[in-house]
Amino acid sequence: MVSLQTRDHLSFLTNIFTAQKCDAYGHFLPDGVPPPPCALRPPNNWSPYCNRVEFEFANFIFTHAEMPAKKIDVLLEIWVASLIKLGGEPPFSNHTDLYNVIDSTSVGDVKWDNFTMHYKRGQQNNDAAGEAGVNEAAPWMYDMYDVWYRDLHQVIHNILATSEYKDEFHTRNTMPWMIRGAGKTSCLETGPGRKQY
């Protein structure tokens, strides 16, 4: 026999794992109601880039050519020389300027963030540097590493908010939830069939 506390818990899980569509305030929407329209950028909005040329240049250099910083600077200097007679300016003054704009680029309004990390020597029992001495430690143990990331909660929120994927995934969870307690196992399937034990 399932206890009253277990039934309450199963009822609670059934209510929160129904994956019903809701608005931005958490109010459930009736079935078949489309999501609110997304605010679209105008086609000429290239921010944080000034224009399409800046975006295309940054995209090509960073994702396709994977050009080193010194070569980016040489390319931009050649570009400056070609624009002197016309009084124009290249899209970026140097590789640092380019990198700063790339770093400020957001995808769906989710900005990149970063932190630096390193290996802490002598903190674990099997630490080669702690046991065998500093001279025998692997070179990677002395390096600093930059970790770049985006807020995954916000990225998922933006994915779910776009209409492009509305028919590409199921919002109903069909994975059974197992609840164990007092020597008994309860099964709750939150998808079609809605099994409860």
Hey, is 57 helix, strand or coil?
A: helix
Contact 176, 194 (CB under 8 A): no
Q: Give pLDDT tens digits for 30-41.
A: 877 776 666 677
Give whichever of 1-15, 29-43, 62-76, 122-136 has the largest mean pLDDT. 62-76
pLDDT of residue 188: 47
On the question of pLDDT at 173 being above 80, the answer is no
On the question of pLDDT at 105 being above 60, the answer is yes
**Measured distance CA(188)–CA(196) in Å, rounded:** 5
Contact 110, 158 (CB under 8 A): yes
- For strand 106-107 and strand 110-118, is the pairing parallel, antiparallel, or unpaired? antiparallel
**Measured distance CA(157)–CA(48) in Å, rounded:** 22
Higher pLDDT, 195 or 135: 135
pLDDT of residue 181: 52
Distance of CA 17 to the CA centre of its chain: 23
Higher pLDDT, 17 or 51: 51
Q: Give pLDDT tens digits for 124-156.
A: 545 444 454 556 778 888 899 988 888 888 888
On the question of pLDDT at 190 being above 50, the answer is no
On the question of pLDDT at 178 being above 90, the answer is no
Annotate 59-93 with b (16+ C-beta within 10 A) or e (fewer).
eebeeeeebeeeebbebbeeeeeeeeeeeeebbbe
